Homo-oligomer: A and B are copies of this chain.
Amino acid sequence: MGLATYRKSVSETKHAAILEAARANFLRDGYSRAAMAEIAREADVSTATLYKHFASKEMLFAAVVQEAYTGTEATILTDTPGKPARTVLHNIALVYARLQFDEQMNDLLRVVIAEVPSAPHLAREVYENGVLERYRQLQAVLDSLVARGELKPHDTQVSALYLAGMVKEFVVWPSLFTLDFKRSEDMDSKLEACIDAYLGIYAARPLQRDRIQENTRGT
């Protein structure tokens, strides 16, 4: 038994190493240009071993994508009872930005989008379980804020999209077009401005005028 468990742990270690190397390669070079031999080399296994763990390049890519969205399905964007809407939404935006930048979700998105013609099912899955899931979580937060009287009652499903759209404009969109696009210095203030704009429509109580003013002439 000891031998069996040892083998199993070795196998799991290799499995993880392959996934990690694959992720790095796919994100860096894109699907087509990433090479199985190189992934095997970086994972320090033979190509045959790689194929023992993942039956094809396509399945390896799917596994990389799955892994990125696994554990992420768990609720990430949550309300913080007692805090004002502005604070809650700001925190959520920061969590989202961290996810996209630091966890390289933007790069992953790019590669998934790139493979839509050849792997439409995968893209659909990412969209359903990644993108839409995030919308649902945001909507739940907004519903909670409405319930707490922080926001006016309204169609939160739509307004979640509005907020998401505005935030993505700064957090996701430029990343898709620029390799290694970094979180800029004034990202925070931009996100705050987004949220203030959003609250301009949906806040139960009007924001102080000066808040809006102060964000009026940014870049």
Q: Chain A residues in contact with chain B, CB under 8 A?
A: 28-30, 32-33, 110-118, 120, 123-124, 126-127, 131, 154-155, 157-159, 161-162, 164-170, 173-174, 176-179, 193-194, 197, 200-201, 215-219
CB–CB B33/A177 < 8 A? no
CB–CB A177/B114 < 8 A? no
Q: In the complex, what residues of B have CB within 8 A of residue A215's CB?
A: 155, 158
Q: Which of B169, B176, B216 touches A154 (beta carbons < 8 Å)?
A: B216
Interface centre among A111, A114, A174 (most CB of B within 10 A): A114
Q: Chain A interface mostly helix, strand, loop or mixed?
A: helix
Q: In the complex, what residues of B have CB within 8 A of residue A179's CB?
A: 116-117, 120
Q: In the complex, what residues of B have CB within 8 A of residue A168's CB?
A: 165, 168-169, 173
